[in-house]
Every structure is written in C-alpha cells, then in structure tokens.
Amino acid sequence: MTLNTTTEHPVRLVPRTTIAPAAPERWSVEAVASLFDLPFSDLIHRAQTVHREHFDPAEVELATLLSVKTGGCPEDCGYCPQSVHFDTGLAAGKLMGVDAVREAAQRAKQAGATRFCMGAAWRAPKDRDVDAVAELVRTVKAEGLEACATLGMLSEGHAETLRDAGLDYYNHNLDSAPDFYGEIITTRDYQDRLDTLERVRGAGVKVCCGGIVGMGESRLQRAALVAQLANLAPDYPESVPINHLVKVQGTPLADQPDLDPLEFVRTIAVARITMPRARVRLSAGRQQMSEAVQALCFLAGANSIFYGEKLLTTGNPDVAADMGLLAKLGLRPRRA
C-alpha cells in the first residue's frame, strides 16, 4: 500500500533494528496462531473459561474517550482522519480548557462511566503541552474518575509529570504486528512506540495498549500483534483496546475490504486467553457491529467498552443503545 503523504510536515526517522524486550517469552507467534485456528466453539469456550477465572463475567467497564486536541497531527497513520497528510475535512483545533473538560467528565460520570480518557493529536507533546494536560488530569481526578491519556510519544520526564498529576493509565497502541507496521505508518518506528511504553512503565503508570484489526493484515500478522502485546516486558498491558478499522474517506484505508466479523471475535478471544488479567476493550468500530457480534465479543472475554456517542472523531453507539444491549445480555456496568 502506498500512503498519500505530502512533504509539508517532514519527519526525520532514525533507523532502528531493535524490537521490544520480551523476556521471558510467554507466547510465541506460532502458539498464538494455533489459538486463532481452533474451532470457533472451542476457542470461545476456552476464552470464557479464562475470563471467569479472573473477572466477574457479568461486569463491563464503561470508559469515555474525549478528543481534547483534534487534528493537525504530522504522522501519516493510514487509518487516521487527524493526519495533516490526508484530506478528510477535519479542521485542527487547540487544546481544550479545564472548564470544558470538567463538564465533559461530569457528563461521563453521570452516564455511568468510571474511566475518562483524553486524546490529543500530537506526534510528541512538548513540555508545556504535558503540563497543560497534567492540569486536565487533575480536573478529571477531582470528579472521581480514573484518568487515561493518549498524547503520542513521551520524552523523559513526561510520564512522571502525568503520574504526579494522578494519571492512572497511558494509552499508546502498537497498532499492528512489527512486520506490517511499515505498510500503515512511515513517520514513526515501531521501536518509538515501545520506548514510550517503557517510559510509562518506568514511571509506575498503568499501560493501555492494543491494536487495530481489519487494515489488510493476515491472520498470522494478527497473531503476531497479540504475541507482541502478550510478551511486553515486564508484563502485558493492564488494558488492551482492540479496534476495528473505521474506514474514513480521504485516508488510504478508506476502501479496505471488510474484515469477517467472526475473525474480529476470534481476535478478542485470543487476546483474553493470552492476557488473562487485562481489561479487553471493544474500542473503535463498534458502531458498525451488530448486537449479535458484540454479544459474541463479550462471550469471548471483552469486558470494557468505549462509551458515549463519539470516539475522538468517529461515531460510537449512543448511551441508550449500549444500556439496552447490556440489559438484553444480562450485563451490568462496573462500579468505581
């Protein structure tokens, strides 16, 4: 795939050859691939068994995601409408203020969310940006919610600043398997992502890290993504968002063929088996899923959803629809 990049915002890459420390290896790519290849009923049974060993199977975490700084990102991620390289009609905005974020956090809490996630479209925030987001974190924490942020690559000291403000989780997705990554993104190395995760862990902040499926990767590459997540040192992420590609006009992946829904369910089940204590979250793309597919995902071990009408810049099921679905399935929101 050739990305429709421009040279208006050049980013210099430093070639690297290392990949994440994974000692000891808990899951080989071959072992993860063998899970994907199980008969569907066997895979779901195994995932549900693992799920019940570690979680209440009737409980689902509700997390709300707010774009606190939208658009203008210099990265060329082929799926992202916020990239300056693609014409998606999205206007860049400035960082939201404390009052607006406080009001959004209050609405999320009133609707039942227990975690409030803030996303900013930066390649890597500057010191002043991190200081400003730290103030937003303190605002969210004051409302009694867990706080999560995704701001791009962090430099030395940034994770500590966010930690001291009360940040509970930092999200930084791997997106894909290492050998597929260059097909989707050229402005950032895989190792850059791993370095940020290491800084987050080093600061004592919990890790939220997952990927995107349906971008044209093979099943083996989906297995390699899960293996990479499961083998992160010193342990796998506490929170694992599994995103289904949302195809946005103007991005290089806008015409990507649809992924088989049952393959998405398999990915959820494999994530549950390989990362048994993690919160596995249904993230982007849920609006395009039928209730039956979502129900299978919960059966496969998903126990967290992004909740609210919007995910950064793309749609999400509305609150009433989600509450109705949970009620049909006999599921209940996790309480703080």
Catalytically active residues are 73, 77, 80, 117, 148, 208, 281
Q: Which two tokens stand for residue 43?
A: 């895979």
Burial of 65 from C-beta contacts in 10 A (0-12 / 13-18 / 19+): buried
Q: Specify whether the CB–CB gap between 267 and 43 falls below 8 A.
A: no
Q: Specify whether the CB–CB gap between 225 and 211 falls below 8 A.
A: yes
For residues 68 and 107, give the distance between their C-alpha atoms in angstroms, rounded to a whole number: 15
Around 130, how many Cα atoms within 13 Å sit in the side-chain half-sphere?
Answer: 22
Q: Specify whether the CB–CB gap between 247 and 256 falls below 8 A.
A: yes
Q: Which two tokens stand for residue 101?
A: 């974020």
Residue 220: beta bridge partners?
none
CA 256 to chain centre: 20
